[in-house]
Amino acid sequence: MSQQALKGHLDMLVLAVLADGPKHGYAVIDALRDRSDEAFDLPEGTVYPALHRLERAGLLRSEWSEVQGRRRRTYHLTDAGTTGLATRAAEWQRFVASVGDVIGRSGPWPASA
């Protein structure tokens, strides 16, 4: 996968896995890898700053906890995060449709699942 393919779409992916339920950072990374069948195996240096950015933007909130001697910061979507995800997902689908128009796709995408 191209190194820049994610640009501008990472926030949506993070919001999407958190829409399933609160998770701490490391679990977000695992969820992205599992759900994408290894396609999105993101380094911590990518995901942690994204989480901080989304919290600063008000789309996430977090609480600290301690589980078996390890500090965890668990993130959950705010209301703004929920609507933000919906907005980004809609934009994504328009983007995909536009790219399809340009590259000349005719039929529906092959199902992956």
Q: What residue ranges bind DNA (CB under 7 A)?
A: 2-4, 6-11, 24-27, 42-46, 48-53, 67-74
Phi, psi of 109 (to 5 degrees): -65, 150
| Size, binding site for its own copies by CB under 8 A | 42
User: How many CB atoms are located within 10 Å of the residue 51 CB?
Assistant: 21
Closer residue to its own copies in complex, CB, 69/108: 108
Other beta carbons within 10 angstroms of residue 98's beta carbon come to 10
Q: Please, which residues have CB within 8 angstroms of residue 17's CB and are 6 or more apart in sequence?
A: 23, 28, 31, 32, 35
72 binds, among DNA, its own copies, none (CB under 5 to 8 A by kind): DNA
Contact residues for its own copies, defined by CB under 8 A: 1-9, 12-13, 16-17, 32, 35-37, 39-40, 88-89, 91-104, 106, 108-113
